[in-house]
Amino acid sequence: MGSIQMKSVTVIGLGPMGQAMAAAYLDNGYEVTVWNRTAARADDLVARGAKRAESAGAALAANELAVLSLTDYDAMDAILAQAPEAALAGRTLANLTSDTPDRARRAAAWLAERGAVQITGGVLVPPPGIGTPGAMTYYSGPNDAIEAHRAALEVLTGIDYLGEDQGLAALYYQIGIDMFWTAMAGYVHGQAVAEANGISAADFLPRAVQTLDLRYFLEFYAPRITAGNHEGDVDRISMGVASVEHVLKTTRASGVDGSLPAAVLELFRRGVAAGHGGDSLTSLIGVLRQQR
């Protein structure tokens, strides 16, 4: 299938991300149709030249490509249920809504039954990053559909295509979000301890940046994990237990809630109990997978 040069697109869902996407299309000369359950959210975009659809069905019927940016797939299901099947037939939906891999696969099958094609996406930047160099989105689904609409998708971000399985983009995205929220929760907790001791966020910022630059560790551990090498020649879980115990004592002495480091300590202690006290932190992957 050749590249489609259409300069028109529909954006459904006008939260901060959808607003940024619609604005990026307008900035790039696209004819943009927008729809949101709260119609007033489209006002600024309409003032800039976007067309406000009167219904979700009308928004889908307006263009071959529709970009969806919604809270979750429950919201998507509720919206698409309002649209007549004729509005879906022949349409490609770039579904940039966050949810689980299974929900992505089920939605793609539901749309296919109605003559539509889903492209599953997971956007890797916040709204201000839309349309900026280096921004990227995970995509999965039919490669020919992605290639047909590559120009329109690249208005928003670059494309990291993962394969035909509709659930892959959602899976990679959720893995990344798992890491992101865990790391950010650690930052917020650490800053709570810092402030309890009179250290401002501005003062600690350069230290926080240095601490959270984990590239060296990721590049060190990844090949070892791939090879199944969890030897404790560099780090040991038993060392981690002692280290997090010190963190927890410092936290409590500062008058700060210790539930987050306590959860980490519990995980480390489970690793020791499973016989991995002398092994690397990475051996916890096996401990975690035993919960399946």
Mean pLDDT of the chain: 95
State residue 2's pLDDT score: 45
pLDDT band, residue 206 (cuts 50/70/90): very high
- The CATH architecture one would assign to domain 8-165 is 3-Layer(aba) Sandwich (3.40)
CA dist 256 and 277 (Å) reads: 28
Q: What is the pLDDT, as a whole number, of residue 4?
A: 47
How many residues are recorded in the chain? 292
User: 9-52 pLDDT, tens per residue?
Assistant: 999 999 999 999 999 999 999 999 999 999 999 999 999 999 99
Q: Which pTM was predicted?
A: 0.91
Tokens of 236: 């040991």
Give, for 239, the enclosing helix (H) or strand (E). helix 237-253
Residues of the chain with CATH 3.40.50.720: 8-165
Listed as own residue / partner, the contacts of 27-30 with beta carbons closer than 8 Å and 24 or more positions apart are 27/131, 28/131, 28/155, 30/152, 30/155
CATH of domain 172-289: 1.10.1040.10
Residue 181's Cα: distance from chain center in Å? 10
Please list the residue range(s) of the chain that carry CATH number 1.10.1040.10.
Answer: 172-289
